[in-house]
A and B are shown apart, each in its own frame.
Chain A
Amino acid sequence: MAGQIHKMVQQIISQKSKGNAVIANSVRTKMYLKGIAVDKYTASSPDDAAIIQKVREIGKEFGVMV
């Protein structure tokens, strides 16, 4: 499997920002500062269980279930 981290990150950004581009950019920056290098993950990035768990927890903090 590949691309799950990318998919989860994009879901968090889109659900949290609800289409507001400024908030979307803010969420991306906040994720970087939480230790997720957003742009590093693409649709072909391998699924890393530890990172997936971390992204899931970040989603929960933002009130987004992924």
Chain B
Amino acid sequence: MAIKTISIKGTDSQDMARQAHDTLAGFQPKLLLFFASSIYNNPGAALKAAFPDSEVIGSSSHSEYCNTGFTSGSVSIMAMDAGSVEDICVRVIENIGSDPDLRPTLEEMHDYYGGVDAVLSDYERCVGIVLFECGPKVEEVFMDRLGTATDLLFVGGSSSTADRGESLVYAGDRSYSGAAVLAILKTVNGYDVLKTQSAHVFSERKLLVTKSNMRSRTLYEFDNRPCGEVYAEVLGIPQEEIQNYFVCNPLGVVAGDEIFVRTFNEIQDGGITLHCGLPEGTEINVLKIGNIVEDTQKALDEVITYQPAGVVNFNCLYRTLEILNKNQVESYCALFGRYPSIGFSTNGEAFFGHINETSTILVIK
């Protein structure tokens, strides 16, 4: 077996790592990818101590998915051996809030595999994972820079937290705040990446962002008019009621067949803050949220027409709360129970850019 997925609840990180070691006895993982409830202290260090010959990367989480299970206070682990992953290159970018130049790191990662041409000639097998510590709120800028520094696809998400504990990402035996973990996997049999947002175009009317602050994630104007006024006009509602529609009618950048969702945060300082900045000049549509379970099944079934080795689901915390609210957890988890899979409730998802209210999914063939 090339990939094993396990869910563990330990009395502490050491107990969790010991259980993982016992469960994976005889299996020699090259990579351990884990999502640990933030109640655990230094879970990465404990796992690295238990698996010294494996690369270990992960993120803190609010709640975790593993196969058909949805839990909190647990650690979901995907262990990949040489049957699924030929090689892994991991780097950590610290202090992501300072807008670091990603090119040297990406060059180093490309060189690890023999240079950019060699990596691109193996495009069907090489894929990136990005795990953000969510604190700095700069994922959209980082993903923009990452997208110009490499042509490889990177998929991932931002850390979250349970009721207690810190938001962190992990690499090797260290924990990081304000950082991003990058990993390039050379898979044995290839990969697929998909995203599903269960959001559909509500109005075909395109709105041009004419005034915004990308860094503070604040939107001020559409088509040179106050954004709240135009948003209300599109929905056909009084402007004083717009906050009631923020969750059900987010915004989206529609690029061909793909929708990149931007969710609202709150009305503030004469504008509306979002969970992802929008650059001026962007055209957006107002969206409507659909049925998460139905749309996820459709997205999975369209792409995964084979038995995958493993599936990693970066599922927005909003979506987790929505399926909990609608009592759809069991049917949602049943979709992923068809494959060896892990996931967690993210504070933002990554694929080309930073996205909201979406599930980004890495499928290892």
Neighbour of A26 across the interface among B144, B151, B209, CB < 8 A: B151
Contact, CB under 8 Å: B281 / A33? no
Whole-angstrom distance between the alpha carbons of A28 and B253 in the complex? 13
Contact, CB under 8 Å: A37 / B256? no
Whole-angstrom distance between the alpha carbons of A24 and B213 in the complex? 29
Q: Which 10 A-B pairs have the closest CB atoms?
A: A35-B281, A32-B255, A35-B279, A33-B353, A35-B282, A37-B283, A61-B148, A30-B147, A29-B255, A29-B352
Q: Does B242 contact A (CB under 8 A)?
A: no
Residue pairs across A and B with Cβ atoms less than 8 A apart, 12 shown, are: A20-B120, A20-B151, A23-B151, A26-B147, A29-B258, A30-B147, A30-B352, A33-B143, A33-B255, A33-B352, A39-B256, A51-B281
Which residues of B138-181 are within 8 A (CB) of A? 143-144, 147-148, 151, 153
Whole-angstrom distance between the alpha carbons of A26 and B193 in the complex? 12
Query: What are the interface flags for B230-261 relative to A under an 8 Å C-beta threshold, 1 for contact and 0 otherwise?
Result: 00000000000000000000000101101010
Contact, CB under 8 Å: A34 / B144? yes
Whole-angstrom distance between the alpha carbons of A54 and B279 in the complex? 12
Whole-angstrom distance between the alpha carbons of A61 and B150 in the complex? 11
Whole-angstrom distance between the alpha carbons of A20 and B253 in the complex? 24
- The interface size of chain B toward A, counting residues with CB under 8 Å, comes to 23
Contact residues in A for B352 (Cβ distance below 8 Å): 26, 29-30, 33
Q: Does B229 contact A (CB under 8 A)?
A: no
Query: What are the interface flags for A10-35 relative to B under an 8 Å C-beta threshold, 1 for contact and 0 otherwise?
Result: 00000010001011011011101111
Contact residues in A for B147 (Cβ distance below 8 Å): 26, 30, 33
Contact residues in B for A26 (Cβ distance below 8 Å): 147, 151, 153, 352
Contact, CB under 8 Å: A22 / B123? yes
Which residues of B244-301 are within 8 A (CB) of A? 253, 255-256, 258, 260, 278-283
Whole-angstrom distance between the alpha carbons of A16 and B224 in the complex? 34
Contact residues in A for B144 (Cβ distance below 8 Å): 30, 33-34
Contact residues in B for A20 (Cβ distance below 8 Å): 120, 123, 151
Q: Which residue of A lies closest to B140 (CB)?
A: A33
Q: How far is the CB of A51 from chain B (nearest CB, A)?
A: 7
Q: How far is the CB of B103 from chain A (nearest CB, A)?
A: 10
Q: How far is the CB of A59 from chain B (nearest CB, A)?
A: 10
Given A32-B282, A33-B253, A33-B260, 10 new contacts (CB under 8 A): A20-B123, A29-B352, A30-B144, A30-B352, A33-B144, A33-B353, A35-B279, A37-B282, A38-B255, A62-B148
